[in-house]
Amino acid sequence: MIKTDEVTLTNFQWPTGYYNDGIEMGLGVSDKLDFGYLVSEVPASAAGTYTTNKFQAAPTKLTKNTINQDHQLQAVVMNSACANSCTGKQGEQNALTEQKLMSEKLGIDLNLVGVASTGLIGAQLPMDKVTAGIEKLSPHHDDNVTKAVMTTDKKPKQACVQIKMGGKTVTITGFAKGSGMIHPKMATMLGFVTTDAGIDGELLQQTLSQNVDTTFNQITVDGDTSTNDMVVVMANGMAGAPKLASTDDADFSIFQAGLHLVLQELAKQIAADGEGATKLVECNVEGAFSDLEGQEVAKAIVGSNLVKAAIFGQDPNWGRIISTIGMTNAHVDIEHVDIEVNGIKMVEDSLGLPFDQQAASDSMGANKVVIDVNLHVGSASGQAWGCDLTYNYVKINASYHT
């Protein structure tokens, strides 16, 4: 796990050399921002991770192909309300048209523009509105673009850190959207990170992929992986710090710690804002055979519908936790598993302990519930985040289309 004690979150602000806009284009409900862009003043190193869903959406495929050419971007155009997924050749052409229109507006190369969409699967983008929307976008330094990608989100997800690299102040700022269909394997989950650090594109890709595995890929709301998941990072180097070219560079560890904290904070905010959710659930696993197995166990626990429902009902039913552990492929010493919920030890050596049931139930009424597990089979660890399963989740998703 990445140590983040060297960096702390700060108030949201854009790094040097970025601007954005978010507008209402009329794609979805009225009086809601649903279209926007994010732009760097200069070409930036870029990296991305993408959904593993076989029905990968047209904008996701286009952005992946664009970044993979030379790991550079300068702008991303994005919308909510319409995912442009499962839309065939017309959907692919619409994504290409968006890319072309944005490149012409900004006067930059076509291959420096990414495209991102989220919302209802199966609907074609209304290209007359898209064309008009691109014309209306103008440079701002507010946070409206972070609101333009929201669907069922109750609020935008934002995170920012500042670090010192080569004596220069470097800012790493990210935003994300996601509330339902969240089980990333990189739901409708989108994440965007900007930084004024300078870093080689291939190194940025390697760093992003590693850190997404322990942050965004360790959250779950409902076990569903969307067709549109994507996390994109842009690094334009405008802070003036020495450019990172290797993991051996003196400032690489602090940059990685900063990036990790931003990704982790955004991931936690998505989990906490799960559709219908009333609380964030965090699971910390220690004593695992490997970090991969620790992550597997942690994510299985926060993803269990029985565990999620028990947490909603404030029921300290540790049997649902231990049975979930037993269903994983991880190494488990079945006679030596320990479980705590909100600091209350309920299981030791795989046997239930006497504890104050009412106090435990009351503690689960907080807006965050922490489950700690020790598997006692190694020295590795894992962490994951999810939310409770409520009546409102069913209500929201029973009528999402209508």
CA separation (Å) from 312 to 27, 240, 371, 388?
Answer: 34, 48, 14, 5
Token look-up 């705590």 returns 340
The two beta strands, 113-117 and 72-79, are: parallel
The Cα–Cα gap between 36 and 34 comes to 7
Active site residues: 188
Token look-up 């910390």 returns 284
**Taking Cα atoms as reference points, which of 88, 80, 155, 77 lies closest to residue 110?**
77
The Cα–Cα gap between 44 and 200 comes to 10
Rg over CA atoms, the chain:
21
The Cα–Cα gap between 184 and 331 comes to 24
The DSSP secondary structure of 186-241, one letter per residue, reads ----EEEEEE---B-HHHHHHHHHHHHHTTGGGB-SSS---S--EEEEEE--TT-P
Vertex 398, ends 395 and 402: CA angle to 5°?
Answer: 110
Q: Are 83 and 43 in contact (CB under 8 A)?
A: no
Q: With left for phi above 0 and alpha for psi between -120 and 50, is residue 343 left, alpha or beta?
A: left
Sequence ranges of the binding site = 151, 177, 188, 275, 397, 402
The Cα–Cα gap between 22 and 33 comes to 6
Collapsing DSSP states into helix, strand and coil, what is residue 15?
Answer: coil
Strand partners, 169: 164
> Structure tokens of 43?
């070409």
Sequence ranges of the binding site for substrate = 151, 177, 188, 275, 397, 402
Q: What are phi and psi of 381, to 5 degrees?
A: -145, 170
